[in-house]
Structure 1
Amino acid sequence: MKILVVDDDDFTTRLLHIQLRAMGLRNSGYTGIELCARGEDALQRVGARAEGFGLVFCDLRMPGMDGVEFVRHLAESGFRGGLVLMSGAESRVLQAAEQLARSQGLRVLGTLSKPVQPDALRALLEAGAVDAVEPATASAQVAPASDATALEAAIASGDLFNLYQPKVELGSGEVVGVEAQARWRRPGGDIAMPADFLPLAEEAGLVGPLARLVLTNALRDARCWSGTGPELDVAVNLSMANLASLDLPERISRLAEAAGFPLERLVLELSETRLPTRPQDQLDIMTRLRLKGVRLAIDEFGTGFSNLAQLREMPFSELKIDRGVVRGAAKDPSRRAIVQAALVLARELDAHAVAEGLDDVDDLACVRGLGCHLGQGALVAGPMPASELAAWIRGWPARRDRLLLAA
């Protein structure tokens, strides 16, 4: 896996090259860092490299094909690595480009203002995308058609596994729940992230079996940390395609009953960017899930353009503010305003707000000061195996006290 820097400014590319090498990314498994001055040439390299690029840095202002055009073509090529956008333009332009790239399905790690500062670069890489800077956990860039068969076989054999990221109460630091995040160990050893295999599962009609496996694993794994303190909520991500079957509430009830897991502690997360336009069947399913005690969360809030009337109709109990909005909110007035608006909306919907991507002490203090009560992110803990969670919970109080003091 390689790193590709796309920028026509020779000084910037060479400086970034030096900074990345100094951070040891080449020693962590990347085979090299390549520099490219033109978007057209960069796209040819991305398409021609069999081993693929795991991380791309892209400037927005370039002659010929600008950064926005490059990002559009990059998404069309099926690129699955991490993307960092850079520019000397005003922050609102960077934010708009980031929003656009996310809406096109790209895994955007964040944005950097030029000239790029080493501390900002390190913070972005460490906080936002451990999986993107560690090739051992990076997935293949473009999934061949045969991957649908491989994914189906992996689901049938149970080869997918879950990692769990803790969610805490921001005032007290108390651990209140975990989010299950699926991973697929692909043939050859690469670990595929959800962004890599969920579109494949939807195209191949595998979202039902996939969701059943992830949920079954989560309900089973909950026994690993049971008894370590207060009983934790477990959140599982679903595609809107999972809400196509009217018997979904009954099937989830049976799975929870078999695992001995209370439905009142189960949270199902649905992405804001995939909410249906006329959700008659989905509303039926969601309402019956809520009647059974299951809670529903709007995931990645702030990455799409929500129909607020539609959101009011749906029985959501949690609103998760996307990491792309939370990250940098302490220093960026526009991001802070979006967080504040999301918190107001959550209160109006009588829903709990959760700040995702809490990777910086200043951002933690900011969202907590604005009235957000729950959060998760690398500052608290990254995703971990179920077998490690109990030990992490036991060691959390000491670290929690230092963190809350710093914030």
Structure 2
Amino acid sequence: MIRSLRVLILQNHPMHRMIAVEQLRAMDCTQVYVARDGASALALLRTLGAVDVIICDMNMEGMDGLEFLRHVDESHLACGVILFNLMAADLRWSVQQLLALSGLKILGDLGQPMKLQSFAILLRQYIELRDGYIASDSTATNLPSLEMIQEGLCENMFKPFYQPKFNLSNFVPCGAEVLARWDHPVLGVLMPADFLPLIAKYDLLDELFAQIFEQGVAFQAHLLLRGYRLQLSYNLDAQQLLSLELAGRIKDILYRYALPATLVTFELLETGLIGDSRASMENMIRLRMMGCGLAIDDFGTGYSSLQRLCDFPFNQIKLDMHFISNMDLPVYRAAITSTLAMAKALNMTMIVEGVESDMQRRQLVQLGCTLGQGYWYAKPMAHLAMIQWLNEADTGCIKHF
């Protein structure tokens, strides 16, 4: 509850301090502390101890907000921060990006003047975030062990889930991404974050990929016999490309199920393609020669995007969802349109990740984008649910989230 929160207001303008205090008290927040500059705020925190949330003015005489929050982070004197300033939009965004590198949770930016409704929403979000962390900590001991993962691989417990991709204008599905899930008999369906780090650590990626890929290809072949050509994309780790047997194993599975290689695309994280490798390049070329597609995933998050597009035989770009979630900023809209223009010039397709609302979809269409993927359209689903979803898509009965 908001009443239980300890909140510090750091604001050098007396009127703004008073307004913030009144708004917090109107929300029944009783543990409110105030300071007018960074030095006095640090002294107060070192006396009081850590608070839940700091509402922080960034433009102050003497110690500015950035320096103050750096000291707060180093001394673990707060959990969340709400920014409160009059800076330009692009500078406010840069400040948020910088603070995101710290251990502080950036809850939002109120701007000025503050609105009571926004204030309350941000504080409630902090409470939900805090309670969520408590809940996740309490279940941490139930995470799977290496022995459980090995048993899961032996018993074929790992299953493919499918998240559809679609045409942004007419909503027609154009394929799906295959995502690994662990259907554990006791713990339920586990997400990749629960098992992938351990699988990578103990060099079990090839075993996991083999299970997911073969099940996905069998599913595609089943659909193909019924006249439905479903394009699927599979994730490959950069380390897997170092094996000169990779392309051959993929070719054998495709041959066994009589599935055209043109229905398969492999997505590689841009951040994983760090160094040039003869084996990696050979595998990528062989896959393309077979007819498979190659997509550079999370494009725009690495440090050598253009170099990788030039060096490796990609034919698809998947634009990272970070650009879509920040489309309100002109610099991100420019990045989207310029990436789309580059993809067209290179004769590549571009898929936009993270489409979560109809407003985002319409904005992307206005920018010239044609293909997307995201929760607004469909969440990842198991194969039986996917078959039902495809049937509904054919009849125009799809309901978007």
Q: TM-score normalised to the size of structure 2?
A: 0.69
Given that residues 112 and 121 in structure 1 are in contact (C-alpha distance below 8 angstroms), is that contact kept between their aligned partners in structure 2? no
The structural deviation recorded for 1:394 is 2.6
- Of the candidates 216, 230, 241, which is equivalent to residue 218 of structure 1? 216
Match of 1:182 in 2: 180
Match of 1:318 in 2: 316
Stretch moving more, 352-361 or 336-345: 336-345
Match of 2:271 in 1: 273
Structure 2 residue 334 is the aligned partner of structure 1 residue 337:
yes
Given that residues 9 and 54 in structure 2 are in contact (C-alpha distance below 8 angstroms), is that contact kept between their aligned partners in structure 1? no
Given that residues 355 and 375 in structure 2 are in contact (C-alpha distance below 8 angstroms), is that contact kept between their aligned partners in structure 1? yes
How many residues matched? 341
Structure 1: segments with no counterpart, 5+ residues: 19-36, 46-56, 74-82, 126-132
- For 1:211 and 1:389, how far apart are their aligned partners in 2? 20
Cα-to-partner distance string for 1:371-394 (whole Å, 9 max, x where unaligned):
222111111111111101222123
Match of 2:354 in 1: 357
- For 1:293 and 1:388, how far apart are their aligned partners in 2? 29
Stretch moving more, 380-389 or 362-371: 362-371
The structural deviation recorded for 1:223 is 4.9
Mapping of residues 154-233 of structure 1, within 5 Å: 154-185=152-183, 188-189=186-187, 191-223=189-221, 225-226=223-224, 230-233=228-231
Given that residues 233 and 266 in structure 2 are in contact (C-alpha distance below 8 angstroms), is that contact kept between their aligned partners in structure 1? yes
Mapping of residues 1-400 of structure 1, within 5 Å: 8=8, 66=69, 87-88=83-84, 92=90, 112-114=108-110, 147-185=145-183, 188-189=186-187, 191-223=189-221, 225-226=223-224, 230-329=228-327, 331-396=328-393, 398=396
Given that residues 301 and 322 in structure 1 are in contact (C-alpha distance below 8 angstroms), is that contact kept between their aligned partners in structure 2? yes
- For 1:255 and 1:266, how far apart are their aligned partners in 2? 12
Q: Which amino acid aligns with 2:366?
A: G
- For 2:261 and 2:90, how far apart are their aligned partners in 1? 42
* Secondary structure in 2 matching 1:398: coil
Q: Cα RMSD between the aligned structures? A: 4.6
Cα-to-partner distance string for 1:294-329 (whole Å, 9 max, x where unaligned):
101011112222241232121111100111211241
Q: Which amino acid aligns with 1:378?
A: Y
| Percent identity of paired positions between Structure 1 and Structure 2 | 25
Given that residues 178 and 234 in structure 2 are in contact (C-alpha distance below 8 angstroms), is that contact kept between their aligned partners in structure 1? yes
Given that residues 228 and 390 in structure 1 are in contact (C-alpha distance below 8 angstroms), is that contact kept between their aligned partners in structure 2? no
The structural deviation recorded for 1:139 is 10
* Secondary structure in 2 matching 1:299: strand
- For 2:385 and 2:232, how far apart are their aligned partners in 1? 16
Q: TM-score normalised to the size of structure 1?
A: 0.68
Distance 1:345 1:111, change over 3 A: farther
The structural deviation recorded for 1:200 is 2.1
Distance 1:102 1:395, change over 3 A: farther
Stretch moving more, 245-254 or 277-286: 277-286
Distance 1:70 1:332, change over 3 A: same
The structural deviation recorded for 1:264 is 0.8
- For 2:254 and 2:228, how far apart are their aligned partners in 1? 19
* Secondary structure in 2 matching 1:368: helix
* Secondary structure in 1 matching 2:145: helix
Distance 1:249 1:134, change over 3 A: farther
Given that residues 281 and 312 in structure 2 are in contact (C-alpha distance below 8 angstroms), is that contact kept between their aligned partners in structure 1? yes
The structural deviation recorded for 1:66 is 3.8
* Secondary structure in 1 matching 2:396: helix
- For 2:341 and 2:360, how far apart are their aligned partners in 1? 18
- For 1:86 and 1:349, how far apart are their aligned partners in 2? 43
Q: Which amino acid aligns with 1:207?
A: L
Q: Who wins on radius of gyration, i.e. which is larger?
A: 2
Given that residues 296 and 316 in structure 1 are in contact (C-alpha distance below 8 angstroms), is that contact kept between their aligned partners in structure 2? yes
